[in-house]
Amino acid sequence: MKRFMTTVVAASVLVLASTASAQSFVRYSQNGGDISWGMIHDDGIHQLTQAPYLGLDHTGVVVQREDVKLEAPVEPKLVFMTAFNFRSHITGEPAAYPGLFIVPANSIIGPEDSIVRPAESKNLHYEAEMAIVVGKHAENVSVEDAHEYIFGVTAGNDVSERAWQGGDIQWVRAKGSRGFNAVGPVLVKGADYKNIQITGRLNGEERQSENTSDLIFGMEEMLSYISTYFTLEPGDMIWSGTMGSTRAMQPGDVYEVELSGIGILRNTVVQGQ
């Protein structure tokens, strides 16, 4: 796993190095210790004093990828998900407004964590998505101004228990159980989130693929809509919704979510007790 993820992050650096306006960030831990934010430079990961959307002050500490564990590159208080936001994932006509729901922030796991299938789960599906991270306090933001509030993007897998989703009154258990929402490996500022190819692979076989240009409600529309009713703070997340059809994952399966020009999120499914 560590060798694979080292390759992924290195590839992200090479892609981003060719785009002057893009910056790449990670959260990492060492030997099970404190978690730090870092900015990726050619010579390694440069530790930051705080989350990058709060400032880019460096501590002077530089670590190497092989010496750290990558954590989820997000620290949200609110996590907003979008339902039915690709035409390929719905039947009939789209709704007049976004399908919106919230999951607990502590349902998020990182790129080197396992997705634990709960003992009662029988139909656990993958959902490849893009997620944006809010960069500043947002209330009643217009669509035209929304781009000023989007700090960066990352890859996400909105793991979903379809039996629970269909049987429960709300989706919170089916979509927000512990460890259901994998995120990473990097948070990228300066990427063109309107034109990113999202690809999902189950055990190396492509199962999902579509471009963010096909979203029914773009991320700027989503931020504007959400900020009309909720107060967004730096670090909060908005997910794109998934595309196409999804299928169940089994223990031992590996699901990858790749965002073009950004990186690959890779997680293994394990059986819970």
Q: What CATH number has the domain bearing residue 256?
A: 3.90.850.10
CA-CA distance, 157 to 185, in Å (whole number)? 12
- Residue pair 94/135 in contact by the 8 Å Cβ criterion: no
Domain boundary among 71, 100, 126: 71
| C-alpha dist (Å) from residue 96 to 9, 84, 93, 144, 216 | 39, 11, 9, 19, 10
120 and 24 fall within a common domain: no
Residue 193 has a pLDDT of 98
Which residues touch 257 (CB under 8 Å, ≥6 apart)?
A: 128, 129, 155, 156, 157, 182, 198, 199, 200, 264, 265
204 and 116 fall within a common domain: yes
φ, ψ (nearest 5 deg) of residue 226: -65, -40
Domain boundary among 71, 92, 125: 71
Task: List pLDDT tens digits, range 173-231.
Answer: 999 999 999 999 999 999 999 999 999 999 999 999 999 999 999 999 999 999 999 99
Residue 95 has a pLDDT of 84
Residue 20 has a pLDDT of 55
Order of strands, sheet of 205-211, starting from the edge strand that comes earlier in the sequence: 115-117, 263-271, 254-259, 197-202, 205-211
CA-CA distance, 141 to 135, in Å (whole number)? 13
* Nearest in space to 164 (alpha carbons), one of 172, 174, 177: 174
Q: Give 143's DSSP letter.
A: T
> What is the separation of C-alpha 231 from the centre of its chain, rounded to a whole number of angstroms?
20
> What is the separation of C-alpha 253 from the centre of its chain, rounded to a whole number of angstroms?
19
Task: List pLDDT tens digits, range 118-177.
Answer: 999 999 999 999 999 999 999 999 999 999 999 999 999 999 999 999 999 999 999 999
115 and 43 fall within a common domain: no
Residue 273 has a pLDDT of 86
Tell the burial category of 20 from Cβ atoms under 10 Å away from its Cβ (0-12, 13-18, 19+).
Answer: exposed
Q: Is the pLDDT of residue 6 over 50?
A: no
Task: Write down the residue that tokens 């990473």 correspond to.
Answer: 184
Residue 221 has a pLDDT of 98
136 and 221 fall within a common domain: yes
42 and 176 fall within a common domain: no
Q: Is the pLDDT of residue 8 over 50?
A: no
Average pLDDT, the chain: 92
Residue 195 has a pLDDT of 98
What are the tokens at 258? 């790749």
* Nearest in space to 157 (alpha carbons), one of 197, 196, 184, 191: 184
- Residue pair 197/259 in contact by the 8 Å Cβ criterion: yes
| Residue with the larger pLDDT of the pair 11 and 24 | 24
52 and 157 fall within a common domain: no
- Is the pTM above the cut of 0.75? yes
Task: List pLDDT tens digits, range 63-112.
Answer: 999 999 999 999 999 999 999 999 998 878 888 999 999 999 999 999 99
Residue 21 has a pLDDT of 78
Structural domains counted in the chain: 2
CA-CA distance, 236 to 174, in Å (whole number)? 21
51 and 181 fall within a common domain: no
What are the tokens at 1? 């796993």
Q: Is the pLDDT of residue 15 over 70?
A: no
84 and 204 fall within a common domain: yes
Write out the residue range of the structural domain in which residue 61 sits: 2-71
Q: Are strands 69-71 and 23-29 parallel, antiparallel or unpaired?
A: antiparallel
> What is the separation of C-alpha 33 from the centre of its chain, rounded to a whole number of angstroms?
23
Task: Write down the residue that tokens 């259901």 correspond to.
Answer: 180
172 and 85 fall within a common domain: yes
100 and 235 fall within a common domain: yes
Domain boundary among 28, 50, 71: 71
